[in-house]
Amino acid sequence: MTDPWILLAILVMLVLAAVAGGLWIAVALGLVGVLAIYLGASSKISFINLIPWNTWNSFILTAVPLYLFMGELLVNTGIAKPFYRALNVWIQKLPGGLLQTNVFGCAVFAAMSGVSIASAATFGSLSLKELKRQGYDTKFSLGSVAGPAMLGILIPPSIPLVIYGAMVNQSIGRLFMAGVIPGIIFTITMVLYIGTRSKLQPRLVPREVIAVSWKQRIESLKHILPIVTLILLILGGIYGGWFTPTEAGAIGAAGVLLISLGYGLTWKTLKESLIGATRTTCLAFFLVVGAQILSLGLVSAEIPRRVAESITSLSIPPVAIIASLYLLYLVLGCFIDGLSMMLLTLPVVYPIVVGLGYDPIWFGIALVINIELGLITPPFGFNLFVVQGVSGEDLLTVAAGSMPYVFLGIFMLVLITAYPGVVTWLPNLMRGG
């Protein structure tokens, strides 16, 4: 019997070679999956016909277009600008000024959109010109957008968590709740980083503080409270078991649509939002189909089981294996987009993690944090390209400004690995799990 490690290495190299040759990642995954099926159990080739239908007919994955539609509406309508200004009214006196507004703004938008790129594009376009005008340090400013935008896929709702849950048959509601506390802690670490550095290096933030009366503060709440109320409704409803994550997506999309009516929603904007959500959904589902075919191929060749058995039989501490996986993801994140990275590795990595005794819900959050790091690590970090596009700065400058947030992400991985209860405590309290 062929060594599973050799066979796995060959299949991975074939995927990478196909992608390097210009093939779409989804097609590369599918073709290599077909090859793996023939190598393992060719009789299972007929099962491929069922994969697209099972994927597109999934009630769980119905949440994906709904959350993407919410994000598109937030970007395309006039909600973001008055919300940003209203948020700054309350936050501007914190050390770091407008930089802190970026962090809190990205955190709130993360609880609405489920993707990171939307936050990076929105807050980059809203803040970077103003930060430059006021004399903020360029790298510090760029990092305050690219880094906090990572929160978009950790704080629920999260598109990667929906797909992860569907792939490994885990509760989306529990995964969403598992991301809440780490998301809050990650946000706080960013706030503390910006505040501490602003105090230690005041020359980086020669900011303007605009005098604001309490009347103006109260008036600004009309741009904040509807969004915060909708977020609490979505998360509270999932936590309380009032509705499923998919139903929460429908409620959230309807809520954002209603809020958008007060900000000049037009048929053109609605059409653009629907088209944008549809395109991204098709891309995501296409990737999932390719990954499911690859997963079937790997299972047919018994690669995941044999690899997991060989690793779990080693006299190596489980935490060392987890640390090795983190390093693997850190390297892969420099070259592959997060969703593709997750779908490519999950069929092999997931059995290893479960075999070591780790909680699948916990691993979902650890995996998403690893994906987040890939968003801001050069040369192919998506958030870096988005911020570069809206700022006009070179990629190296954006990457340098974002690097401190990589270390903050690594700190989060260390934290949840040392104290997994940070992730699992809240979902374990859910009604009905």
Residue type at 294 in one-letter notation: L
149 close to 383: Cβ distance less than 8 angstroms:
yes
**Domain count within the chain:** 1
Does the pLDDT at position 35 exceed 60?
yes
Least confident of 5-19, 37-51, 146-160: 37-51
pLDDT at 166: 86
Query: Is there a domain that residue 139 lies in?
Result: yes
Q: Give pLDDT tens digits for 66-121.
A: 888 888 888 788 788 888 888 888 887 888 888 998 899 888 888 877 777 778 88
Give the residue from 336, 244, 327 showing the smallest Cα distance to 291.
336
Q: From the centroid of its chain, how far is CA 72? A: 15
Q: Is residue 291 part of a domain?
A: yes
Mean pLDDT of the chain: 85
Q: Is the pTM of this model over 0.85?
A: yes
Q: Is residue 49's pLDDT more than 80?
A: no
Backbone angles phi, psi at 218, to 5 degrees: -65, -40
Q: Which two tokens stand for residue 213?
A: 């009366």
Is 433 inside a domain boundary? Answer: no
Place of tokens 């048929």: 267
Residues 133-141: what's their mean pLDDT?
A: 89
Does some domain include residue 185? Answer: yes
Q: Is residue 168 part of a domain?
A: yes
Q: How confident is the model at residue 362 (pLDDT cuts 50, 70, 90)?
A: very high
Q: Name 155's Cβ contacts closer than 8 Å, sequence gap at least 6.
A: 107, 110, 111, 179, 180, 183, 184, 187
Measure Cα distances from 44 to 37, 39, 251 in Å: 7, 11, 40
The amino acid occupying position 268 is K
Predicted local confidence at residue 196, as pLDDT: 94
Give the model confidence (pLDDT) of 260-316 as tens digits.
888 878 889 889 989 988 888 888 888 888 888 888 888 777 777 777 777 877 778
pLDDT of residue 209: 65
Helices (H), 301-357: 303-312, 318-332, 338-355
The answer, yes or no, to whether residue 43 has pLDDT greater than 70, is no
pLDDT tens digits for range 189-233: 999 999 999 999 988 887 666 667 778 788 888 888 888 888 888
Residue 61: DSSP 8-state:
G
Give residue 41's pLDDT. Answer: 62
Is the pLDDT reported for residue 184 higher than 90? Answer: yes
Domain that holds residue 74: 4-428
Going by C-alpha positions, the residue among 272, 271, 267, 264 that lies closest to residue 79 is: 264
More confident residue, 197 or 430: 197
Domain membership of residue 283 (yes or no) is yes
Binned at pLDDT 50, 70 and 90, residue 38 comes out as confident
From 294, 287, 374, 365, select the one nearest 327 (Cα to Cα). Answer: 374
Residue 281 pLDDT: 85
Residue matched to tokens 């690594």:
410
Within-domain flag for 110: yes
Q: Is the pLDDT of residue 327 over 70?
A: yes
Q: Indicate left, alpha or beta for 96 from its phi (over 0: left) and psi (-120 to 50: alpha).
A: left
